[in-house]
Amino acid sequence: MKRDPLKLKSSGSEFPLILGRDVSGEIMECGLNVSYFKPGDEVWAAIPPWKQGTVSEFVVASGNEVSHKPKSLSHTEAASLPFVSLTAWSAMKQIGGLNQDNCSGKRILIFGASGGVGTFAIQLMKAWGGHVTAVCSQDASTLVKKLGADHVIDYKSGDVAEQLKMLPLFDFILDNVGGATENWSPNFLKKWSGATYVTLVTPFLLNVDRLGVADGMLQTGVTIGTKAVKHLCKGVHYRWAFFTPSGQSLDEITELVDSGKIRPVVEQVFSLSEVPKAFLKLEEGHARGKTVINVINKK
């Protein structure tokens, strides 16, 4: 392990493909030039998608992807956070421009608030002093309220847009749902105030699969550019966000966790032999936090 820039190319075959992005465990070996970590350190990380995954007894990671695990969490709890926390961190801080110094009093709207990214985003915004409106189903309302949501909208109880018309406009929208939501939700941002809509549902992978890498990236660039200009003319910012692996960001998230401002939301834990069941559960959707695979049955 070494804190070097990410390398997109790696040696070896693509198959067998190992799934999973999150990992929490103990360092077994380090590269010769590693000074940040040592064998025996308890760490956590989220591995980028161009590398083999983490549903395995051993995981190879670059030092810039790794951070010391929060001392207040077990490995099972810690393994539920890296991917979703870094995705929300990318969307809200790096792309959305929110931080602990400018978030106080801002009105935040989160679609898909009861999933892994949503439950972390709620807690992050409350830790930074924001006012959070969460959109989820009624059976998840108790969970998101416990996490700090100030207002909850049940998307099953009626038209969400009509319910939002009864509330003041927002400074920031995080969209974990996509689809038709993107067409009308930016209308609930404060115009000409720097308000931003960020979606995690993009056509990037679909374009690359359909058109190839070069044409797919070109089509994606045209799409995001067109949408950004269209919304800018209406007085709001439109952005896409993606998961970004970062050990340094996890260092900051560790501080938030150990200070009690962020807690993991684990819905269910499976053993390594139950991996097929775990993925079948994910396919059902309607998550309430994260599903964790305990590879070596050690907390």
The rounded distance, in Å, linking the Cα atoms of 146 and 122 is 10
Q: Partners of 291 in the beta sheet?
A: 268
CA–CA separation, 49 and 245 (whole Å): 9
Helices 213-232 and 204-211 meet at what angle, rounded to 10?
Answer: 140
| Number of alpha carbons in the 13 Å side-chain half-sphere of residue 194 | 8
Return the SS3 of 115. strand
Residue 160 CA, distance from chain mean position: 23
* pLDDT in the model for residue 298: 58
Q: What is the chain's pLDDT, residue by residue, as a tens digit (299 residues)?
A: 444 444 445 555 567 788 889 999 999 999 888 888 999 999 999 999 888 888 889 999 988 999 999 999 999 999 999 999 999 999 999 999 999 999 999 999 999 999 999 999 999 999 999 999 999 998 899 999 999 999 999 998 889 999 999 999 999 999 999 889 999 999 999 999 999 999 998 877 777 778 777 887 888 788 878 888 888 888 999 999 999 999 999 999 999 999 999 999 988 898 888 888 888 888 887 777 888 888 876 55
Question: What six digits make up the tokens of 195?
Answer: 């308000």
Q: How many angstroms separate the CA atoms of 139 and 87, rounded?
A: 25
Residue 297: predicted pLDDT: 66
Q: Please state, in angstroms and rounded to a whole number, the distance separating the CA atoms of residues 225 and 239.
A: 10
**Distance of alpha carbon 116 from alpha carbon 41, whole angstroms:** 26
Burial class (CB in 10 A: 0-12, 13-18, 19+), 68: middle
Look at residues 4, 25, 85, 16 and name the one whose alpha carbon lies nearest to residue 53. 16
Residue 266 bridge partners (DSSP): 290
> Which tokens sit at 57?
């007894």
